[in-house]
Each structure stands twice: as structure tokens, then as C-alpha cells.
């Protein structure tokens, strides 16, 4: 699977900005394939290998900082949202409503994760369920990153008491994730 450069770059920025004392150790522990990505300018529009561009760097950060991997992924998702909302999506947030964000969820997520599908289910006034498919089971950690991104984005458009639950489900035929979001 592949991930957009914007998401890859935010992982590097996260470690460099939030944990500068650990940055050198984190970077040193990365495999050669990950270092090759980070040693060159990470282009926002380019697609990168999910394993070396995101999963391994997130897992190493969690191990180094002694965080649970899901918590680390969530925090990186929040950080990514904060950075995106300062930049390219700044205007988007000024005019966006919760309903607008929900209606665009699939296309927003697809801009970060190649060949994925997001469906909006059970949308009511203060809750929505998103169904994410076409992700590989081995990238389920990414779902927590998406959860953190959604949580911060909903707060940014003025929602209160945002609750996001990520539930990965594997049946006989496919792996899918449900993200349950509620707010006041």
C-alpha cells in the first residue's frame, strides 16, 4: 500500500518537533529504506511505501518513547491534522461545517491513502459511522492515525465533546474498519 507524502512528512515533523531529544535516536533506528525516504525531500504529492514511510517509523517512535503503538498513531494523526489545518486546509476549515466534512471524508482520506474506499454510514445530527475498506490488515495501525486526525478536525470545526472509536474487523473475505464519531 502507499501513503501520500504529506502524511509521511508529518511523521518526521512530529518526531522532530514534539520529541527533539529523541529524534536522533529514532532516526538512527530507522531501516535504510525509511532513511532513503526521509533523506530526500518528501514531496507532498508523491506516493510512498506505507511500511517504510509510515508504519515502521510510527512503531519505532512508540517503542523509543515507550508509548502504546495505537496511542502513538493517534497522537501522530492529531499532529497531522493540526499541521494540515494550518496549511492547505486552513481556508477549508473556515467555511466547513461538520456535515461538509462528513460528506468529504472519503475523498479527504483517499488523498492520503492510495486505492482506499470510505463510506459514510449511519449519519445523524451528532454522530456518524465511517467504513474504511481496501486497506490491508497489516496497516491497521494507520486506522488509529486516521482516528486522531478525525478527532482534531472535528474539534477544529467547532464540535464539542468529540468521541472517536476505531474498530478493526476481519471477516472471511476482507479486513475493514469502522470509525464511530459522536459529538455535541
Q: Is 157:167 a contact under the CB 8 Å cutoff?
A: no
How far is residue 183's CA from residue 107's CA, in Å, rounded to a whole number?
A: 22
Within 13 Å of residue 184, how many CA atoms lie on the same side as its CB? Answer: 2
Q: Which three cell numbers stand for residue 68?
A: 502504546
Give the alpha-carbon dihedral of 30, 41, 58, 50, to 10 degrees. -100
Q: How many CB atoms lie within 10 A of CB 26?
A: 20
**Averaged pLDDT, 56-61:** 98
**Please, what is the average pLDDT of the chain?**
90
3 state DSSP class of 97: coil
Label residue 65 by pLDDT band (50, 70, 90).
Answer: very high
Q: pLDDT tens across 81-110, in order?
A: 998 888 666 666 666 677 777 777 777 888
Q: Is 48:2 a contact under the CB 8 Å cutoff?
A: yes
36: CB partners within 8 A, 6+ apart: 52
Q: Is the pLDDT of residue 138 over 90?
A: no
User: What pLDDT was estimated at residue 140?
Assistant: 87
Share of the chain above pLDDT 90, in %: 62
How far is residue 109's CA from residue 161's CA, in Å, rounded to a whole number?
A: 22
Q: Is 7:112 a contact under the CB 8 Å cutoff?
A: yes
User: What pLDDT was estimated at residue 95?
Assistant: 63
User: What pLDDT was estimated at residue 3?
Assistant: 95
User: What pLDDT was estimated at residue 96?
Assistant: 67
**Averaged pLDDT, 155-183:** 90
Q: Which three cell numbers stand for residue 14?
A: 512530529
pTM: 0.91
User: What pLDDT was estimated at residue 99?
Assistant: 76
**Averaged pLDDT, 48-54:** 96
User: What pLDDT was estimated at residue 101?
Assistant: 76
Amino acid at each position: 500500500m502507499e501513503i501520500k507524502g504529506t502524511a509521511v512528512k508529518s511523521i518526521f515533523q512530529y518526531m522532530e518537533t514534539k520529541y527533539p531529544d529523541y529524534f536522533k535516536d529514532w532516526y538512527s533506528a530507522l531501516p535504510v529504506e525509511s532513511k532513503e525516504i526521509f533523506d530526500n525531500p518528501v514531496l507532498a504529492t508523491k506516493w510512498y511505501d506505507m511500511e517504510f514511510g509510515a508504519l515502521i517509523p510510527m512503531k519505532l517512535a512508540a517503542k523509543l518513547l515507550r508509548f502504546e503503538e495505537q496511542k502513538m498513531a493517534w497522537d501522530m494523526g492529531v499532529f497531522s491534522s493540526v499541521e494540515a489545518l494550518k496549511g492547505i486546509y486552513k481556508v477549508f476549515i473556515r467555511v466547513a461545517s461538520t456535515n461538509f466534512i462528513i460528506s468529504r471524508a472519503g475523498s479527504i482520506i483517499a488523498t492520503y491513502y492510495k486505492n482506499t474506499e470510505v463510506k459514510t454510514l449511519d449519519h445523524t445530527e451528532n454522530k456518524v459511522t465511517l467504513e474504511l475498506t481496501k486497506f490491508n490488515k497489516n496497516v491497521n495501525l494507520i486506522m488509529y492515525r486516521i482516528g486522531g486526525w478525525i478527532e482534531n478536525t472535528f474539534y477544529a470545526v467547532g464540535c464539542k465533546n468529540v468521541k472517536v472509536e476505531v474498530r478493526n474487523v476481519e471477516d472471511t473475505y476482507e479486513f475493514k474498519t469502522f470509525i464511530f464519531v459522536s459529538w455535541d
